[in-house]
Structure 1
Amino acid sequence: MRLLLLFSVCLLPLVLPAQSDEKKATPSIADKTEKMEQQEGFFTYYWSDEEGKVYLEIDRWDEDFLYVNSLAAGLGSNDIGLDRNQLGDTRVVFFRRVGPKVMLQQRNLDYRAVSDNPAEAESVEEAFAQSVLEGFKVVAKTDDRALIDITDLLLSDAHGVAARLKRGKEGTYKVDANRSAVYPENTKNFPKNTEFEATITFTGEPTGRNVRSVTPNSESFTLRMHHSFVELPDDDYEPRAYDPRSGYYARGYADYATPIDQPLTKRFITRHRLQKKDPSAAMSEPVEPITYYLDRGAPEPVRTALLEGARWWNQAYEAAGYTNAFRVAVLPEDADPLDVRYNVINWVHRSTRGWSYGSSVTDPRTGEIIKGHVLLGSLRVRQDFLIAQGMIEAYGEDGTTPDPRLEELAIARLRQLSAHEVGHTLGLAHNFAASTNDRASVMDYPAPYVTLTDGGEMDFSEAYATGIGEWDKRTIMYGYTDFADGTDEAQALQEILTENEEMGLRYISDSDARPQGSSQPQGHLWDNGSDPVAEMDRLLNLRSVALENFSEKNIPVGMPLSELESVLVPVYLMHRYQVEAVAKMIGGYEYDYGVRIAGEKPAYPPTDPDRQRAAREALLRTVAPETLVIPKRLASLIPPPAMGYDRNRELFNTQNGGGLDPMAMAQSAADNSLAFLLHPERLARVVEQRAMYGSVLPSLKEYLDEVQGAISRAIRDNFRSDYRSEIAEMVERRLVHHLIGLAANKEISEAVSAEALSQAVRYRQPNESLTGMTAHELYLSQLVSSFLANPDNYEPTEVPDLPDGSPIGQ
């Protein structure tokens, strides 16, 4: 019985394993895609609704194209910076096939050899790494065509969301494939571009507050990512040479085929392609105009303001010899704002106010702008409305209808903002010196120029300039003039730049305007006028009037009185950015972006000594008690936040545990001014200028003596006023903390540290006199003594930060 059973088992038929997938013949593309939806275009692709997958057909190997990734639906947090319709990276890539694999490879265009010798070009290409962005398996093929599944690429974190959240300490997130899918509605094909989109769900553990503030569930949120495959432009575009005086952004690469007597790096500007139909004509229609489209989501009156502001640029193109070269319309209903064929002005919502941006898709090979792309934050207009709201009785006697001047100012700013950000997408950089040239450029950051009438009333009529500026016309001439045949283009461009100088047009951009310790006295953000000191005095006077007139009528009836503090903040800090403008005159140098010109001897001297002294005195006025106090009635007018209205970062940080804190307000404002007065790089230049230019300029000791003297006099002059006396002593305490901080800083000029220490030691008193000191004097003496006894343990007292600043609009 047992033997029979064994024999029976042995007689069972032998079942062989099925043939593996690897050994199956690769199907044809037609067979594989028989039941799929085909979309022909730049790259033919197929949509498998059954699988939820996208298959891409490749018939061009080693042929370059652009790969652009974008964020179609954003997170809504300005602090994180993942906005709707935000552009990501632009790369020149190509598909390469190796047996059953297909590689998506990015070229390294930062290092090249522009040479007729192929071996020379190849040697540079092999010397620097390229990047394989993604690998695919061939799933079907017909002749030299191959089909790949690109779904994994579309569902990847191509925009770098998880990395950004990790850097921002918002949490550790990853893509959840089970909750991510292709977004067929925005996956489309066109002759010169193929567009894909996907909904991507991120899961993880939040560790910051920003993700929580804008998501329904911070452990799982969904965005949409967009991928564009774009045909590269033809070779008819001619790059234009970059000059640091031109006002443009520069693109460049290292050309290893360059003769050794020439610069290795080749630089050219970024700009749109624009050609005249008749280059010999003084004025001509373009072959094809530059057209921008406005987001359909922008409401009125915002829509009209954005259209008007963007259209200002046609004035600049007319100055460059074009008729109707720049046009702006509303985006057609069937158009996708991320479609590379459209230059778009996007109206973007966030939970808090923030920056607006002008970016572009640019051909890295030449600098040609293919797509201009503007993101305008929708809450900026409310901030400008708020600035105006604090300057006048915004809601008057009836308390319900706002003064029309508030909206007029806010809308005027929107026009300027639209023009500014579009300017970036035309290739233009910031010009932060334009305010010194009677507002010669929309590429500056303008402060609202509000004035007082002879009767002491606020006048908003000149708050923002209207129309394109003279500098903007000149920059467009440099970048876009289509010179007639036979013109020496290099010479013609130099003539434009020479004329700019003869016209007195100044140009200073970000690197020389933004740093707190910058030495360029003409490059400022959020300022007006050619004389920073005069503008400071004007602003302080305007601020004084606004504070004196501030009342419950600055908010509408029915709003909690605690909300008056939100309106008060920009009024109290009206001079905030002018502090920085004035400070740049101290230790300043009068320089520009000049180049060597035969026969000319450049000279960039220090800022005039008298102007430097005037700047120091102006800054000291900002820490004087009469500037830092607020009318006492305001303290009793504004209660702590009402139920349902919390304190936020737009308000002053407090130390009194309640609502409005006049002392903390004064401390924050004073410390801001002292930080500019005593910036270590600025003080190093004071030392440097005295050493190099002699006694016409003050020594650092003399400079600090003047600062200390003015602050000490304020204590003596205000001893009869408890409020002002307390503020004067607070300012002196902050001064000593700054001096000790300079003395303890091992990374700054030793000359600055030494003099700061010498100045701080003055506040130390002998032990036998301690009993006769005031609390203020005792505090300073012990502060300095403790530092001298153990410098490494010194920790400055925390000062309440100022409320959020830029982009406040002022």
Structure 2
Amino acid sequence: MKYILLLVFALSLQLGLAQDKSTKDLDSILQTMPKSEGLISTYFEDDKLYFKFPEEVLEKDLLMVTRLKQLPANYSAYRNAGSKTSEQMIHFVKVGKSIDLVQVLTTNVADEEDPISLSVAQNNLNPILASFPIKSDEGKDIVIEVSSFFNADSPSFNIIPDGLKSEYKIGKADDKRSRINTVKSFPQNTEITHTLTFPTSKPPRGNSTNTFTFQINHSIIALPENPMQVRYEDSRVGWFGLRKYNYSSDALKSDELRLIRRWRLEPKDEKAYAKGKLTEPIKPIVYYLDPATPKKWRKYFIQGIEDWNSAFEKAGFKNAIQAKVAPTEKEDPNFSPEDVRFSTVRYVASTTRNAVGPSVSDPRTGEIIESDIIWYHNHLRSYRNRYLLETGAANPKARSLDTPEEEIGEMMRRVISHEIGHALGLPHNMKASSAYDVESLRSGEFTQKMGIAATIMDYARYNYVAQPGDKNIRFVRQLGPYDDYAIEWGYRYFPNSSAEEDKDILKKFVDQRSTDPLYMFGGRGNDPDAKTEDIGNNSVKASTYGLSNLKIVAKNLDSWTTTAGQNYEDLEELYGEMLGVYRRYIYHVVSIVGGVNETLLHKGQEGIPYQVVNTTEQENALKFISDHVWTPQYWLVDEALVSKFAKGGKLESLINMNKRVLNRLTNAKRLNMMWDTHSTLPGEGLSPQELLDALVKDILTSRTTPDQVERELQKHLVHQLIELEKDKDLALELKGHSLALQNGVLSNLKTEMNTSDQTLKAHYTYMVKMLEKAMEVGD
């Protein structure tokens, strides 16, 4: 027995010595590795990454945000540098001799004292994203190695969506061409950047390497110890939000809760605030400008950020949002834009023409923790070009590609304000531009005071309505009354009240305002008053003014864009964008046909939420389309302009634009929707049958001597009628009408074939054969 005890003792001693040696070996390894101390202390060298953290971090609410830092060329139009691929709350959980990285699900909730909370927990088991053997847990610190996790394509990262994996035939990440790049820790966050490389057997055009390489950034962020009080969404006020399902609801179902995303603003002096005095917040929202921001633009960025202070004053706060130039390394060696304690405006040297305003929020409450606005350098070019094309006729300052610095600065200021609006919690509000009467946009007094739309969160960038001779016009957007209203609703502070009590107070606030066009909110949908890139409350009138201006621009485009000794590259670029401007103006009007006006209401407010656009407005829209589309717009392809850069002419472009407009009007989905809404919603609007009749009359029967552009459109209309009759999704009643139209058109064309004009005779004969062949197949 003594021998057995001695043997056990010896083995235990040997195992203890081995463990002690292993711990000492790890300590000696870590001592030689570069260390970054913070929320999670990291040790990183030669693709080896260790996390070291105290036990207090275990089961602490953390947020892991994954973003694309760099990505392949031509990869996706909808993903760019800075795009978020995943955002999830996580816990580090100790299980035996391992640490599990667990995703904490926050969507389904219940009162902890409600028995149903047991069922919520049982039916929402948190997934384990990874498990790491504990390398050391001496004292209170735990050490794990996470190298393989960040060197792999974990499904939780969601780097490449399944659709793109399938489209490009992307394989598994190549370990040999993937690596961890940088690791850095701060008091409230840890940042890991790594590279993942994938083989692809069907890459986009221009990629001859059959390779996609991405650089990924992961942020692990400590969530607030004291969660902010939530604010419930009101659908009548636009706000980014979170969706949750409350199983403790008194409703006989899980009650959907929507919380808004907003910064935590609390007054320093609650007593003064309660008396209606403007009060500074305990913690203002502060943005630091990237040191890479060109000095001449910094003042405009600062103005664009701090412009929101006027809106915050409506909520009772002064100096609520501030902009500062980031300190240099010499001034503050501890400052880093990657530190979650600092929100920044990044200036990126890139050919991308865009700017974005992302933010990170607490998934428990919606509290915005930090934000990084990204400005891509070439975004200036887009705004300069559109400034010339949309305002040049009435605005002498826009008649050059060498736009005055103060004009460019004003555009940048307003773009930054727009992106800051997103970072404050506001989504786009495309309905706001319809709040202003079109004629008021020609008034200097009105536009200087009210801007060109009721919010800067609409895509109402320039005043294209103002005409030559109009005086003192504001051409660039600015903040408006809706911005004041939305910020007051979202940030007004109510001391000593619950979220439910706040909801009741704010509901009354919205009830009194939401039916006023100045304070309406709306997305894109099928509402012609909620379109992107438009201004004014009458698209026919606004687009008529816009086209009148665009014709002036077309005549002067060469002289405004090209000086002696230059080639015509700029002219060609601006010409292509001019066609895009024309197309936008037309599509604004097209959306009226079959449109349904939406007004977001709660019961008890006056009005009808959904109403068909009336017949007169739709007929006016069709008349506009007839005048400005079906009637060939040869000013768009003037040979004096096109001959300077187009080898083969541009007539085909004009024809294709006309076809695309016709496709929109004769789309089966649109016609079915018109058929449905015409029968079930209030309002007297065009039926789809009336629309098809009008198109046949306007494009075919009323044009007795069609020219080459009109002939192409006529053939396309016949083609569309044939395709509609074959479309399986088209309502049967509309199929019957399409067939009847084809018979009527066929009879008419046979009569027209008797013409002595051989070109027209051949044209009509061709369409007759199209219809006869289609009818034979149908029989």
TM superposition score normalised by structure 2 = 0.84
Residue 759 of structure 1 aligns to a residue whose secondary structure is helix
1:747 alignment partner in structure 2: 729
1:774 alignment partner in structure 2: 761
2:483 alignment partner in structure 1: 472
Checking the alignment, whether the CA contact within 8 Å between 1:337 and 1:344 is kept in structure 2 is yes
Matched, 1:111 2:100: no
2:90 alignment partner in structure 1: 93
- Distance (Å, rounded) in 2 between the aligned partners of 1:162 and 1:692: 43
1:569 alignment partner in structure 2: 576
Residue 105 of structure 2 aligns to a residue whose secondary structure is coil
1:715 alignment partner in structure 2: 703
2:228 counterpart (232, 237, 240): 237
Matched, 1:531 2:538: yes
Q: Compared with structure 1, are the counterparts of its residues 679 and 378 closer, same or farther at alpha carbon in structure 2 (3 Å cutoff)?
A: farther
1:327 alignment partner in structure 2: 322
Aligned pairs (5 A) from 1:246-395: 246-261=237-252, 264-279=255-270, 280-282=274-276, 283-334=278-329, 335-353=335-353, 355-389=354-388
Cα deviation, 1:122-170, whole Å, max 9, x if unaligned, reads 3212212422111212222225643210112222335544557943734
2:41 alignment partner in structure 1: 44
Q: Report how far residue 542 of structure 1 moved.
A: 1.3
Cα deviation, 1:322-376, whole Å, max 9, x if unaligned, reads 11001122334454434322222233455453x5332221111111111223333
Cα deviation, 1:493-516, whole Å, max 9, x if unaligned, reads 123212323643253443xx1x5x
- Distance (Å, rounded) in 2 between the aligned partners of 1:270 and 1:550: 45
Matched, 1:555 2:565: no
Matched, 1:609 2:615: yes
- Distance (Å, rounded) in 1 between the aligned partners of 2:407 and 2:778: 51
- Distance (Å, rounded) in 2 between the aligned partners of 1:531 and 1:356: 29
Q: Report how far residue 665 of structure 1 moved.
A: 1.6
Q: Compared with structure 1, are the counterparts of its residues 710 and 629 closer, same or farther at alpha carbon in structure 2 (3 Å cutoff)?
A: farther
1:425 alignment partner in structure 2: 423
Q: Compared with structure 1, are the counterparts of its residues 346 and 115 closer, same or farther at alpha carbon in structure 2 (3 Å cutoff)?
A: same
Checking the alignment, whether the CA contact within 8 Å between 1:39 and 1:46 is kept in structure 2 is yes
- Distance (Å, rounded) in 2 between the aligned partners of 1:736 and 1:154: 58
Checking the alignment, whether the CA contact within 8 Å between 1:76 and 1:349 is kept in structure 2 is no
1:627 alignment partner in structure 2: 633
Q: Compared with structure 1, are the counterparts of its residues 295 and 362 closer, same or farther at alpha carbon in structure 2 (3 Å cutoff)?
A: same
Q: Compared with structure 1, are the counterparts of its residues 453 and 768 closer, same or farther at alpha carbon in structure 2 (3 Å cutoff)?
A: closer
Q: Report how far residue 667 of structure 1 moved.
A: 1.3
Checking the alignment, whether the CA contact within 8 Å between 1:451 and 1:460 is kept in structure 2 is no
Q: Report how far residue 451 of structure 1 moved.
A: 5.2
1:449 alignment partner in structure 2: 463
Q: Compared with structure 1, are the counterparts of its residues 442 and 77 closer, same or farther at alpha carbon in structure 2 (3 Å cutoff)?
A: farther
1:226 counterpart (217, 220, 225): 217
Q: Compared with structure 1, are the counterparts of its residues 272 and 711 closer, same or farther at alpha carbon in structure 2 (3 Å cutoff)?
A: same
Q: Compared with structure 1, are the counterparts of its residues 51 and 421 closer, same or farther at alpha carbon in structure 2 (3 Å cutoff)?
A: closer
Q: Report how far residue 284 of structure 1 moved.
A: 0.5
Residue 66 of structure 1 aligns to a residue whose secondary structure is strand
Amino acid at match of 2:765: L
2:720 alignment partner in structure 1: 738
Choose 577-586 or 295-304, whichever is displaced more.
295-304
Q: Report how far residue 747 of structure 1 moved.
A: 1.9
Choose 339-348 or 727-736, whichever is displaced more.
339-348
Q: Compared with structure 1, are the counterparts of its residues 21 and 453 closer, same or farther at alpha carbon in structure 2 (3 Å cutoff)?
A: farther
Checking the alignment, whether the CA contact within 8 Å between 1:588 and 1:606 is kept in structure 2 is yes
Residue 435 of structure 1 aligns to a residue whose secondary structure is helix
Aligned pairs (5 A) from 1:116-265: 116-117=113-114, 120-142=116-138, 145-157=141-153, 159-163=157-161, 166-167=164-165, 169-184=167-182, 187-198=183-194, 200-205=195-200, 207-209=202-204, 212=207, 218-219=209-210, 223-261=214-252, 264-265=255-256
- Distance (Å, rounded) in 2 between the aligned partners of 1:522 and 1:565: 33
1:785 counterpart (744, 759, 772): 772
Q: Compared with structure 1, are the counterparts of its residues 196 and 680 closer, same or farther at alpha carbon in structure 2 (3 Å cutoff)?
A: same
Q: Compared with structure 1, are the counterparts of its residues 616 and 765 closer, same or farther at alpha carbon in structure 2 (3 Å cutoff)?
A: closer
Cα deviation, 1:585-607, whole Å, max 9, x if unaligned, reads 2223332221223x867464322
- Distance (Å, rounded) in 1 between the aligned partners of 2:702 and 2:570: 33
- Distance (Å, rounded) in 2 between the aligned partners of 1:265 and 1:693: 27
Checking the alignment, whether the CA contact within 8 Å between 1:72 and 1:85 is kept in structure 2 is yes
Q: Compared with structure 1, are the counterparts of its residues 503 and 635 closer, same or farther at alpha carbon in structure 2 (3 Å cutoff)?
A: closer
- Distance (Å, rounded) in 2 between the aligned partners of 1:636 and 1:587: 36
Give 1 or 2: higher helix fraction. 2
Cα deviation, 1:753-797, whole Å, max 9, x if unaligned, reads 3323322333335999879772221222222223233369xxxxx
1:507 counterpart (492, 496, 520): 520
Q: Compared with structure 1, are the counterparts of its residues 272 and 680 closer, same or farther at alpha carbon in structure 2 (3 Å cutoff)?
A: same
Q: Compared with structure 1, are the counterparts of its residues 559 and 745 closer, same or farther at alpha carbon in structure 2 (3 Å cutoff)?
A: farther
Cα deviation, 1:411-439, whole Å, max 9, x if unaligned, reads 43332221112111111111101111230
Aligned residues: 724
Matched, 1:492 2:505: yes
- Distance (Å, rounded) in 1 between the aligned partners of 2:725 and 2:107: 44
- Distance (Å, rounded) in 2 between the aligned partners of 1:404 and 1:560: 16
Choose 291-300 or 100-109, whichever is displaced more.
291-300
Q: Which has the higher contact order (CA 8 A, sep 6+)?
A: 1
Residue 25 of structure 1 aligns to a residue whose secondary structure is helix
Aligned pairs (5 A) from 1:393-412: 402=400, 404-405=402-403, 410-412=408-410
- Distance (Å, rounded) in 2 between the aligned partners of 1:383 and 1:489: 42
Q: Report how far residue 28 of structure 1 moved.
A: 6.8
Residue 774 of structure 1 aligns to a residue whose secondary structure is helix
Off by >6 Å, runs of 4+ in structure 1: 19-23, 391-394, 766-773
Residue 242 of structure 1 aligns to a residue whose secondary structure is coil
TM superposition score normalised by structure 1 = 0.81
Amino acid at match of 2:688: L
Q: Report how far residue 314 of structure 1 moved.
A: 1.3
Checking the alignment, whether the CA contact within 8 Å between 1:690 and 1:698 is kept in structure 2 is yes
- Distance (Å, rounded) in 2 between the aligned partners of 1:486 and 1:197: 43
Q: Compared with structure 1, are the counterparts of its residues 403 and 110 closer, same or farther at alpha carbon in structure 2 (3 Å cutoff)?
A: closer
Unmatched tracts of structure 2, length 5 or more: 1-12, 330-334, 394-398, 437-452
Q: Report how far residue 676 of structure 1 moved.
A: 3.0
Residue 272 of structure 1 aligns to a residue whose secondary structure is coil
- Distance (Å, rounded) in 1 between the aligned partners of 2:544 and 2:266: 48
Checking the alignment, whether the CA contact within 8 Å between 1:587 and 1:607 is kept in structure 2 is yes
Amino acid at match of 1:700: P
Q: Report how far residue 224 of structure 1 moved.
A: 3.3
- Distance (Å, rounded) in 2 between the aligned partners of 1:22 and 1:163: 48
- Distance (Å, rounded) in 2 between the aligned partners of 1:50 and 1:532: 61
Checking the alignment, whether the CA contact within 8 Å between 2:290 and 2:344 is kept in structure 1 is yes
Amino acid at match of 1:742: L
Cα deviation, 1:235-287, whole Å, max 9, x if unaligned, reads 35100011101211221211112223576112211111111112314210101
Q: Compared with structure 1, are the counterparts of its residues 708 and 26 closer, same or farther at alpha carbon in structure 2 (3 Å cutoff)?
A: farther
Aligned pairs (5 A) from 1:60-75: 60-75=57-72
1:32 counterpart (8, 26, 29): 26
- Distance (Å, rounded) in 1 between the aligned partners of 2:606 and 2:558: 59
Checking the alignment, whether the CA contact within 8 Å between 1:680 and 1:752 is kept in structure 2 is no
Q: Compared with structure 1, are the counterparts of its residues 298 and 666 closer, same or farther at alpha carbon in structure 2 (3 Å cutoff)?
A: same
- Distance (Å, rounded) in 1 between the aligned partners of 2:230 and 2:683: 50
- Distance (Å, rounded) in 2 between the aligned partners of 1:390 and 1:208: 36
Q: Report how far residue 106 of structure 1 moved.
A: 0.3
